[in-house]
Amino acid sequence: MRALAVVVLPAELGAAGVDQTAEAFVRWVRGYRAGAEMDHGYGVTRLRAKGSSPAPGYLRQLAELRAALLSADMDSKRQVVTAALEQARINDLPRTPDGRHIAADLMAFYFRSSDANDLCYRAAIGRDLCRGLDGSEQAPAPLKGRA
Amino acid sequence: MPRYESDVCIIGSGITAAMLALKLSELRPNLSITVVEAGKRLFDTENRMAYRQRSIDYAENAWPGDFIEDQAAQGVISRTMAVGGSALHWGGTCNRFSEEDLRLKSMFGLYTDWPLAWAELEKFYCEAERRLGVSGEPSPFVEDRRSEPYPMAAMAMTHNLIELKKWADQSGIPFQTTPQAKNTEPYDGRAKCIRCNTCAICPTGARYSPDYTFRRLLQRKNFALHDQTLVRKLVIDDGKSTVAAAEAVNYQKPDETVEYRAPVFALTSGYCWSPHLLLLSRSPRFPNGLANSSGLVGRYMCGHAFQSAMIEIDAKIYPGMNEQHGLISRQFFRVKDREKFVRHDLRVWESATGHEPRMRGADGRILLGDGLLADWRQRAQRGTARVRGYYDVHPDRDSSLTLDASAKNRFGDPLPKIEHRLDAATQARRDFTREHFQQLFQNLAKTGNGKVLNTGAGNYLDHPAGGCRMGSDPASSVCDSFGQTHDHENLFVAGSPTLPNAGCTNGTLTFVALTLRSAERLAARFAQG
């Protein structure tokens, strides 16, 4: 999982940041609740439930990538992951991990997150945090250590 | 058969029921009130932060269990059926209608007038704002003058909103922040907003939600809330035209009929389930259902249409600062040229549209890691404004809610089917309206060196209402301006179903204002003390 994370996550996270994100994704998979009710708020009238756990599919996909991820150089690793995503016909970043491919889902897990939003804008926006109203009229502070 | 008696039986438990029950309990403290609700009570506020997080992380329902699987209607806008109703997850927007909404016939020769004066409604808007705890700033238009200030100062604009307002104001259209039922200071026992950016599940109670009112009411000895109990029929007194009882079934004991008896019944189940129950309550004496001598129960179903645009502008927007707070202009609430009638609000919010991460670059190749981040950053240089106008459309008589014999719940009751239809005058304005918005969006874009990324028109009517419209004439309306039905003197309909038309901005504050007015009429039936 860490080897895959190095390929699909930005190097700007640093080695520790990449590892932490990979670990958080594993926790996310463990916390997944098959059959849980999904959002059906205002304007969304179809009742839906979460599908089965993506974990078995992820393990199979990781096993398929394992050899390349552990031995090849970075360019080759990228080619292998890209080929896997093409084969899985992933055309866009999933809104939320959807179980089609572990590489796409790890990317969605990170790049759709509040942390990634901060990294993109190099600012402590904290989209998904409860931040208080005070000071919100100012532009968010620059990310610490990432000016 | 279990039988419950009270002075007032309220059917439905959304924001209308909460406000009606609260005001009645204040005006007549000795009154016994029973609220009957098909859905569950979801009062576990201690879990809301966790539900919010699961919703963010897994797209799970932030209100688990807030629906009844087989109690579904075609054409509704929300499946929520729980104590608190749709207002459990509303955005808290509290715009007022304007006088034009009440006087379409007399001012423009269109559709109909409401049977109450603007000044009368305005009083109750003030009360509604106090009870919900609305934070806002006054409109710059003299026509929108208020008789009382907002109970709380407006929420401060975020950096994003300041940038958007600078841009929008350059167009010459005056904007203000949108009033919201969100606390900018501790208010009515609820906390100050802490900007969680997830108002659909407010974890702190800073955004008003009816469940807080119900929990307060439950501390009263003579208030009862019967949830998970579906009212299936209203029964008329033998030989009279008054409602004698509501027949219901509790989901825990589905084989047993439960009867509610009261001298007064108030139907507060919203635009869908209120007319539905009246139609379901048909009998040999009332073959078309109750309150339906006019044939207008389930007719004139209304809402407003909308046009939207995403406009990319030269502004530094940081998506996610407070996506729930926006700007409104009321400039287009007024119409100068009757021949070119288009009335609408105009709203602006921050948006990430056009600047979201994507997996394939412009050349179609897959992006990974650094490549994806670089592509995202490059596209995120400019900001995006989400712009929307809710515009005034008027229903045809055949804009209807009917009983759908092909879809039934577990008890065999036919479910509602809503089909909106616009009147001929509205349809005749369609092209002009579309052109008006296209021109407006282009003009807005020009002001900020902007570019319209896309435009869209809704394929449904938002903020729906109607189905039991109010009026003075029993031949052309279901109830009077207090919601008292013309046909049954002890049966009231409150809130959204009574609206003849849905204006051109969010309706909740209007539903509440009308309900608070109804509460006074209803209380007057009972002696004080």
Partner B contacted by A84 (CB < 8 A):
no
The arithmetic mean of pLDDT across residues B298-313, rounded, is 97
Q: Do the Cβ atoms of A100 and A88 come closer than 8 Å?
A: yes
Least confident range from B337-341, B371-375, B376-380, B474-478: namely: B337-341
Token pair, residue B499, equals 């609206």
Q: What is the pLDDT of residue A45?
A: 82
ipTM of the complex: 0.97
Q: HSE (CB half, 13 Å, CA atoms) of A53?
A: 11
Please state, in angstroms and rounded to a whole number, the distance separating the CA atoms of residues B1 and B247. Answer: 10
Interface contact A125-B203, CB threshold 8 A: no
The arithmetic mean of pLDDT across residues B47-74, rounded, is 96
Please state, in angstroms and rounded to a whole number, the distance separating the CA atoms of residues B297 and B319. Answer: 45
With a pLDDT cut of 90, the percent of chain B lying above it is 97
Token pair, residue B461, equals 């009517």
Report whether pLDDT(B212) > 90: yes
pLDDT tens digits for A86-130? Answer: 999 999 999 999 999 999 999 999 999 999 999 999 999 999 999
B438-442: Cβ within 8 A, 24+ apart: B440/B346, B440/B389, B441/B307, B441/B309, B441/B311, B441/B387
Q: Do the Cβ atoms of B521 and B484 come closer than 8 Å?
A: yes
- Residue B9 phi, psi dihedral angles, 5° rounding: -110, 120
Q: Do the Cβ atoms of B317 and B384 come closer than 8 Å?
A: yes
With a pLDDT cut of 70, the percent of chain B lying above it is 100
Name the residue among B60, B61, B194 with its Cβ closest to that of A132: B194
Partner B contacted by A111 (CB < 8 A):
yes
pLDDT averaged over chain B? 97
Q: Buried b vs exposed e over B288-303: b needs ≥16 C-beta within 10 Å?
A: ebbbbbbebbbbbbbb
The arithmetic mean of pLDDT across residues B452-463, rounded, is 94
**Is the pTM above the cut of 0.90?**
yes
**3-class SS at B378?**
helix
Please state, in angstroms and rounded to a whole number, the distance separating the CA atoms of residues B311 and B453. Answer: 6
Partner B contacted by A43 (CB < 8 A):
yes
Partner B contacted by A75 (CB < 8 A):
no
Residue A145 pLDDT level (bands cut at 50, 70, 90)? low
Interface contact A126-B194, CB threshold 8 A: no
**Residues of B in Cβ contact (< 8 Å) with A119:** 373
pLDDT tens digits for B249-286? Answer: 999 999 999 999 999 999 999 999 999 999 999 999 99
Residues 6+ positions from A45 with CB-CB distance below 8 Å: B72, B76, B77, B78, B79
**Residues of A in Cβ contact (< 8 Å) with B204:** 130
Name the residue among A42, A81, A119 with its Cβ closest to that of B90: A42
Report whether pLDDT(A146) > 60: no
Interface contact B321-A140, CB threshold 8 A: yes
Please state, in angstroms and rounded to a whole number, the distance separating the CA atoms of residues B150 and B145. Answer: 12
Q: What is the pLDDT of residue A147?
A: 40
**Residues of A in Cβ contact (< 8 Å) with B56:** 128
Interface contact A133-B195, CB threshold 8 A: yes
pLDDT tens digits for B197-210? Answer: 999 999 999 999 99
Interface contact A120-B184, CB threshold 8 A: no
pLDDT tens digits for B318-350? Answer: 999 999 999 999 999 999 877 889 999 999 999
Ranges of beta strands (E only) in B330-427 are 346-351, 383-391, 400-408, 414-419
Name the residue among A37, A45, A78 with its Cβ closest to that of B60: A37
Partner B contacted by A114 (CB < 8 A):
yes
Task: Residue B127: name the closest of B33, B27, B271, B11 by CA.
Answer: B27
Q: What is the pLDDT of residue B355?
A: 93
Residues 6+ positions from B362 with CB-CB distance below 8 Å: none
pLDDT tens digits for A20-53? Answer: 999 999 999 999 999 999 988 777 788 999 999 9
Token pair, residue B490, equals 């002890």
Interface contact B156-A137, CB threshold 8 A: yes
Q: What is the pLDDT of residue B529?
A: 65
**Residues of B in Cβ contact (< 8 Å) with A140:** 159, 318, 321
Q: What is the pLDDT of residue B339?
A: 80
**Residues of B in Cβ contact (< 8 Å) with A28:** 57-58
**3-class SS at B98?**
coil
Opening angle at CA B46, ends B42 and B52, nearest 5: 80
For residue B36, count other CB atoms closer than 10 A to its CB. Answer: 27
Q: What is the pLDDT of residue B485?
A: 98
- A25: nearest CA in chain B? B57
Partner B contacted by A86 (CB < 8 A):
yes
